[in-house]
Amino acid sequence: MKLQDLKVIVTGAGRGMGAYFAKELAAAGAKVAAGDVDEAGLAELPAGIARRRLDVSSEADCVDFTRWASAELGGLNALVNNAGIIRDGLLVKRDRESGKLTTLPMDDWNQVLAVNLTGATVMTRELCKTMVEANTRPGVVVNISSVSRHGNRGQSNYVAAKAALAANTVTWAREFAAYGIRVGAIAPGMIETPMTRGMHQKARDALVAAVPVGRIGVPEDIWLAVKFAIECDYFNGRCVDVDGGLVM
Ligand code: NAP
């Protein structure tokens, strides 16, 4: 699909990679509806991008947002499922000094699944329902997974969500093929955004040092992959790692 033909929803578009994608899409001529819980971030997007508060962990919000976006853009044919959060922690941890045991709080498990997996699932359902109802084709959904999908210490919740999102990329590519909708996923490695800026410095430095290309990724690296997933009509049902070789 051509970028200028898109009527596209970008979730988590208030900052980080989502804001970058929304700006690039709009600059290329796409009609963009940006959603985020961060309304201050949304307010900073360039004029011309439609925006509204969206909490993807709320089913009602996903339904209302998609309806609004369709009315605002004159229909829909694309979605970038980018909203995501981390709540890292070991499943069981013994403090070295006090010997005290802590466990991963269920709230941290539930929140990460609710945003990264359930949110993306409900948004995909609503986008595809809107397209099928209106008989719109072709269409494309791009899921933002993570290389953590392969397994990562201290990220049980995030790994579960991002691995399931990559697996359901196949499910949805199969389910929606009959309606002319492709579904692909990009799994970024370590990318410079507010999410990674919040990481423990030592852990961050160690991860960056392990990247074979010798640097942290930037949103443009992932945008190039998202652009490919949108533009290449033969890309379908796959999740591509874009991580400078971190997990190869
Ligand atoms: P980010 O800087 O934290 O931006 C994520 C945006 O999503 C924020 O504006 C955040 O709002 C918003 N958000 C959080 N919960 C939401 C919800 N329930 N509904 C709607 N929006 C919500 O993250 P990023 O690094 O750009 O990450 C973008 C995507 O890439 C995420 O799916 C992330 O998991 C994935 N990813 C990132 C990396 C990386 O190294 N950065 C690596 C692999 C995968 P608040 O600021 O208010 O929370």
**Mutate-to-test residue for ligand 1 from 11, 17, 186, 211, highest number of ligand atoms within 8 A of CB:** 17
β-strand pairing of 92-94 with 101-103:
antiparallel
| Bond before 138 cis per omega within 30 degrees | yes
| SS3 state at 15 | coil
The token pair at 202 is 């030592």
CATH architecture of the domain covering 3-242: 3-Layer(aba) Sandwich (3.40)
End-to-end CA distance of the chain: 30
The token pair at 204 is 């961050």
Most distant pair of Cα atoms in the chain: their distance: 62
Q: Does residue 221 register a pLDDT over 90?
A: yes
| SS3 state at 13 | coil
Domain boundaries, given as residue ranges, for the chain: 3-242
Q: Does residue 93 register a pLDDT over 90?
A: yes
**Mutate-to-test residue for ligand 1 from 195, 207, 242, highest number of ligand atoms within 8 A of CB:** 195
Strand partners for 143 = 81, 185
What spacing in Å lies between the alpha carbon of 196 and ligand 1's midpoint?
A: 10
What residue has token string 């359930």?
118
β-strand pairing of 7-11 with 31-36:
parallel
What spacing in Å lies between the alpha carbon of 195 and ligand 1's midpoint?
A: 7
What spacing in Å lies between the alpha carbon of 116 and ligand 1's midpoint?
A: 9
Shortest CA distance to 149 belongs to which of 138, 164, 137?
164
Q: Does residue 199 register a pLDDT over 90?
A: no
What does the mean pLDDT of the chain come to? 98
Which atom of ligand 1 lies nearest, measured to the CA of 217?
Answer: 40
Containing 50, the helix (H) or strand (E) segment is: strand 50-53
Containing 170, the helix (H) or strand (E) segment is: helix 156-176
Pocket of ligand 1 (CB under 6 A): 11-12, 14-18, 36-38, 41, 54-57, 82-85, 115, 119, 144, 146, 188, 190-191, 193-196
CA pair distance 121, 191, nearest whole angstrom: 24
Q: What pLDDT, on a 0 to 100 scale, did the predictor assign at position 225?
A: 99
Which atom of ligand 1 lies nearest, measured to the CA of 115?
Answer: 18
Considering 20, 158, 179, 234, which one is annotated as catalytic?
158
Shortest CA distance to 130 belongs to which of 82, 79, 186?
79
Q: What pLDDT, on a 0 to 100 scale, did the predictor assign at position 203?
A: 84
What spacing in Å lies between the alpha carbon of 82 and ligand 1's midpoint?
A: 7
pLDDT, tens only, 14-66? 999 999 999 999 999 999 999 999 999 999 999 999 999 999 999 999 999 99
* Rounded percentage of the chain residues whose pLDDT exceeds 70: 100
The vertex-72 CA angle with 70 and 74, nearest 5°, equals: 60
158 assigned to active site: yes
Q: What pLDDT, on a 0 to 100 scale, did the predictor assign at position 209?
A: 95
Q: Does residue 198 register a pLDDT over 90?
A: no
CA distances from 200 to 86, 203, 207 (A): 13, 5, 11
pTM of this prediction exceeds 0.95: yes
Q: What pLDDT, on a 0 to 100 scale, did the predictor assign at position 189?
A: 98
